Amino acid sequence: MIALIGAHSTGKTTLLQELRKHRKDIYISDGWGRPIISAGKRIGLNQKECQEIINEVSTFKWHEDCEMSNYACTRTVIDEYAYSKAFGHDEFIVDRLKVFEKGNFHNNTYFYLPIEFPLVEDGFRYAGAELRKQIDDILKNFIEYYELNVTVLSGSVQERLETMLKVLNSKK
């Protein structure tokens, strides 16, 4: 699996859209957060209920996704851990860690996207620069704790894409 790790509004979706143009052999998923949050708002679910659904979907998909070398995604169980922790959903945190640890996570290719772009509030992303910074800090601590081998994607979208392609093409 190719996992893009980063807080909301760091350019993950934009980068995968660009990757799609260059690597047709990679199945690209923008995750399930936006559709779940959108549907949740329409039917009156609160943020915690939406997060619980997102967590259930990621649990279901994580082990399968970890085995797919040609699958790239913007959301993983790592992100769900970070958001659960930031929102104080303690009952989800241990579960997210167990799901992560049971997966074949060391074989994944990880890309970390730091906060470099302005926050875009589109009605689907969580709001607030403070929350985004908190999520980013949680993700960085997670990466360090699990000693994940990540490539940092920094700079313009084009610079990030070039770095990403260089790493992915070296693994072919």
What gap in Å lies between CA 4 and CA 59, rounded to an integer? Answer: 17
**Closest C-alpha among 67, 6, 61, 7 to residue 29:** 61
What pTM was estimated for this model as a whole?
Answer: 0.83
Helices (H) and strands (E) in the chain, counts: 7, 5
Residues 103, 66: contact at Cβ < 8 Å? Answer: yes
Here the CATH number for the domain that contains residue 138 is 3.40.50.300
Count of structural domains within the chain: 1
**Residue 93 in tokens:** 């945190």
Give the tens place of pLDDT for each residue, 1-33: 888 999 988 999 899 999 999 999 988 877 667
The range of the structural domain enclosing residue 71 comes to 2-170
Residue range 49-77, pLDDT digits in tens:
887 787 777 666 655 665 667 888 887 88
- How is residue 89 written in tokens? 């959903």
